[in-house]
Amino acid sequence: MSTKHPTVFSPQSSVHSPDSSALAKEHAREQWSANPCGANVAREYEFGSREYFDAIERHRYEDAPWIKQAAGFDRYAGKSLLEVGFGTGTDLLQFARGGARVTGVDLTPRSIEIARRRFDVYSARGEFIIGDAEHLNFADSSFDVVYSFGVLHHTPNTAEAVREIHRVLKPGGEAIVMMYNRRSLYYWGSILFKHGIIGGELLKGSAAEIMSRHVEYSETDGRPLVKAYTRAEARRMFSEFQHCDIQVNQLTRRDLRPVGVLLPEAVLQWLARNFGWNLLITATK
């Protein structure tokens, strides 16, 4: 595993230099090959076993129970659905269980291996392809739905990835995308205040560099590219779509410790819907 660190880019910008883009994508492959999404919560189980995958799935939807309703796993029976950046295949499996005809594309060969094994374990059907979110290898108007949760803020040219999603969607098709929210309590409280000011990291680098060090779980100091966007910035990227709705969520009591345990549930949910870490974008072509 390489120990070199990627160049870190501004969260607001897209990257157009071929060399810098290639470098960021190389480190993305390194990060998620070494640290498959969610695998850290399943260490006690045999890799690739049903218990292993059950543990990853259980943790994902316990930590963010709102995902199931927001993604609508059971709403696309009979539809062709593409997931861009499927990781270990947790969400893609839910769409398959709901009756969708699923295809997954991921930059990381390790993700292909893990997702295939997961689908085999549960006797589910899906197609898995190595590919790049910025250059999807599908014809125009190929899919009824394109889903991408927590992925596009890691690719250098996020706006190009959104354009590719628009291109491969059928007219009237739906995009469901999650990206990180720069107006969140996590960004201002943890990234800027805790790490940046109290930890002194803003004296040594940018907010983008702090996110690269702290946002994604890593045992190998992978430091992938991480960006965060405001609602207005996200809406501009989705301006080619006929309709775009943006909701905010993802804030837990653990995120607000020590006061989180004292908050009434209604207050916690209000904070999550207004200052959560995730922007959930649903857009119709």
Tokens matching residue 57: 């799935």
Residue 67 lies inside a defined structural domain of this protein: yes
Tell me how far apart the 2 most distant CA atoms of the chain are, in Å.
Answer: 53
Which CATH number is 156's domain given? 3.40.50.150
Residue 223 lies inside a defined structural domain of this protein: yes
How many structural domains comprise the chain?
1
Is 224 in contact with 216 (CB distance < 8 Å)?
yes
**Mean pLDDT on 25-30:** 86
Dist. CA 24–CA 177, nearest whole Å: 21
Tokens matching residue 77: 């029976």
Of the pLDDT bands very low, low, confident and very high (cuts 50, 70, 90), residue 10 is very low
226-258: pLDDT as tens digits: 999 999 999 999 999 999 999 999 999 999 989
DSSP state of 216: S
203-231: pLDDT as tens digits: 999 999 999 999 998 888 878 999 999 99
User: What pLDDT shows up at residue 166?
Assistant: 98
Dist. CA 258–CA 274, nearest whole Å: 20
Residue 13 lies inside a defined structural domain of this protein: no
Which residue range is the domain that position 132 belongs to? 18-284
Residue 244 lies inside a defined structural domain of this protein: yes
Residue 6 lies inside a defined structural domain of this protein: no
Residue 1 lies inside a defined structural domain of this protein: no
- Interstrand relation of 278-284 and 169-180 (parallel, antiparallel or unpaired): antiparallel
45-68: pLDDT as tens digits: 999 999 999 999 999 999 899 999
User: What pLDDT shows up at residue 52?
Assistant: 96
Residue 5 lies inside a defined structural domain of this protein: no
pLDDT: which is higher, 247 or 2: 247
- Any residues with CB less than 8 A from the CB of 91 and at least 6 apart, and which? 67, 71, 73, 83, 147, 149
Tokens matching residue 58: 């259980």
Dist. CA 206–CA 68, nearest whole Å: 34
Does the pTM surpass 0.85? The reply is yes
Dist. CA 126–CA 123, nearest whole Å: 10
User: What dihedral angle (degrees, nearest 10) is formed by the CA atoms of 87, 230, 176, 42?
Assistant: 30
Residue 274 lies inside a defined structural domain of this protein: yes
pLDDT: which is higher, 14 or 252: 252
- Any residues with CB less than 8 A from the CB of 85 and at least 6 apart, and which? 105, 106, 107, 133, 148, 149, 150, 151, 152, 154
Q: What is the DSSP string of 206-218?
A: -HHHHHHHHSS--
Dist. CA 50–CA 36, nearest whole Å: 16
User: What pLDDT shows up at residue 16?
Assistant: 52
User: How many helices (H) and strands (E) are present in the chain, helices listed first?
Assistant: 10, 7
